């Protein structure tokens, strides 16, 4: 079985989307797969050997030329700064620039050198990780027609259902946004008619797409490595690791204020806009340490005494994040460290963690102090949370099991 992977991000451990997709296809030998992506400076050899990248900038520069060359990415074990992974975005994201981007790619699509590379590779299956652009589904369908390959769609997002301007983060939809979203939905309907099956990372999303399109769907949750449970360091740090966008910093500030009652501080690893970082640094119980590499972060988390995650309680973000299931959740559950989650009750993540009793789930600011205190000092409770998290990882997030499940789905189509 030969697999062509098409996605926005290169398969690289320090990139959350690249890591999620890469671990999913680890059951397919590197000699049997290649990737085409839009963004990335490097790939991780344990995930893939051969990856070709064409960025937005490459397409803009290549429109007037005979063909648009692809860059073959090199293998590196890890980038210490995830910002290096984000090569290729040539514009500020809004509905107007996204429409212009669509036009540019449609004009240049027939010139892509990768079309010939894919035809020579002769894939049996094209695995496409859904993004929020319309040109990629059209490119995938063109590749499928050219190579006679079957299409499998993998998605961790619900952009199709977002009837609001998620780029401007507001309810109001401009005419430009309506035009962009109309074309996006059109492309999704077309590729879903052509694909053999879809795979999602949560049961919630699997049901959403199945109900909307009536397509075959499977759920394979985000993978993580299982770790031996050891005694948690009582002097370890309290850590948040992840993106600081979507107003998550407000929840982190509230957590830090509660931690001050217990002479504890919150250590933050992640990236965000300068104004958000400056707000965090104003709080004495927050220590912002910026970005570190994925493997170094895993080492830090294993030495922590508590790992935390949060989502915004702002009404817009509550609706916008209803399907949110951060890529860091599985890693946190598998860390062997108690996990505290401060999120709105209505989002899918809260229900999932409560079902398996594998994290301290706080859904209101009124309960935050009580739950933080329990997460810090109730040893029996902490042990139960860690034990339940290990069971949850074994059941739903086991790296090897999930990779085998994905391979079985792909092989069943050949």
Distance (Å, whole) CA 268 – CA 300: 11
CATH of domain 3-223+398-411: 3.40.50.2000
CA distance 385 to 381: 6
- Note the pLDDT of residue 364: 96
Q: 198 with 209: CB under 8 angstroms? A: yes
Calculate the alpha carbon distances from 47 to 4, 10, 239 in Å.
Answer: 13, 10, 27
Would you say residue 85 has pLDDT above 50? no
Residue 231 confidence (pLDDT) above 90 = no
Angle between helix 368-377 and 248-259 (nearest 10): 60
**Reported confidence tier of residue 228, pLDDT bands at 50, 70, 90:** low
Position 87 pLDDT exceeds 70: no
Residue 226 has pLDDT above 70, yes or no: no
Query: Please, which pLDDT band fits residue 14 given cuts at 50, 70 and 90?
Result: confident
Structure tokens given for 253: 């500030």
| Helical H segments across 241-335, by residue range | 248-259, 274-281, 294-302, 315-320, 328-333
The pTM of this model reads 0.91
Q: Where are the domains of the chain?
A: 3-223+398-411, 238-397
pLDDT value for 410 = 97
Residue range 256-288, pLDDT digits in tens = 999 999 999 999 999 889 999 999 999 999 999
Residue 395 vs residues 143, 203, 390: alpha-carbon distances, Å: 36, 14, 9
Class of domain 238-397: alpha beta
Is residue 91 predicted with pLDDT exceeding 80? Answer: no
Rg (CA), the chain: 21
Sign of the four-CA dihedral 6, 9, 10, 14: negative
Please state at what angle helix 203-213 crosses helix 175-194, rounded to 10 degrees.
90
Q: What is the largest CA-CA distance in the chain?
A: 67
Q: In sequence order, what are the beta bridge partners of 9?
A: 39
CA 26-31-35 angle, 5° bins: 70
């Amino acid at each position: 079985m030969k697999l062509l992977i098409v996605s926005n991000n290169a398969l690289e451990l320090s990139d959350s989307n690249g890591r999620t997709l890469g671990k999913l296809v680890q059951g397919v030998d590197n000699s049997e797969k290649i990737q085409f992506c839009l963004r990335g400076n490097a790939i991780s050899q344990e995930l893939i050997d051969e990856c070709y990248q064409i960025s937005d900038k490459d397409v803009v520069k290549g429109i007037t030329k005979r063909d648009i060359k692809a860059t073959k990415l090199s293998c590196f074990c890890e980038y210490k700064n995830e910002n290096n992974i984000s090569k290729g975005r040539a514009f500020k994201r809004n509905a107007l620039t996204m429409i212009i981007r669509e036009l540019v790619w449609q004009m240049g699509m027939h010139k892509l050198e990768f079309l010939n590379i894919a035809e020579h590779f002769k894939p049996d299956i094209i695995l496409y990780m859904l993004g929020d652009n319309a040109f990629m589904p059209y490119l995938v369908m063109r590749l499928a027609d050219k190579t006679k390959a079957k299409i499998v769609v993998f998605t961790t997002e619900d952009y199709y259902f977002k009837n609001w301007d998620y780029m401007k983060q507001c309810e109001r939809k401009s005419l430009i946004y309506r035009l962009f979203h109309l074309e996006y939905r059109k492309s999704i309907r077309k590729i879903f008619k052509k694909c053999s099956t879809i795979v999602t990372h949560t049961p919630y999303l699997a049901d959403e797409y199945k109900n909307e399109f009536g397509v075959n769907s499977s759920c394979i949750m985000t993978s993580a490595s299982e770790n031996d449970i050891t005694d948690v360091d009582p002097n370890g740090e309290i850590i948040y690791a992840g993106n600081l966008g979507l107003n998550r910093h407000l929840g982190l500030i509230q957590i830090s204020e509660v931690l001050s009652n217990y002479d504890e501080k919150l250590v933050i690893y992640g990236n965000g806009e300068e104004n958000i970082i400056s707000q965090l640094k104003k709080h004495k119980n927050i220590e912002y340490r910026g970005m570190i590499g994925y493997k170094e972060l895993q080492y830090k988390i294993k030495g922590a005494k508590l790992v935390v995650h949060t989502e915004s309680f702002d009404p817009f973000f509550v609706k916008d994040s209803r399907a949110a299931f951060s890529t860091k959740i599985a890693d946190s559950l598998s860390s062997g460290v108690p996990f505290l989650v401060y999120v709105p009750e209505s989002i899918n993540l809260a229900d999932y963690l409560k079902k398996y009793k594998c994290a301290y789930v706080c859904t209101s600011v009124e309960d935050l102090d009580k739950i933080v205190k329990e997460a810090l000092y109730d040893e029996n409770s902490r042990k139960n949370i860690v034990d339940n998290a290990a069971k949850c990882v074994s059941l739903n997030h086991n790296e090897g099991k999930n990779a085998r499940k994905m391979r079985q789905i792909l092989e069943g189509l050949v």
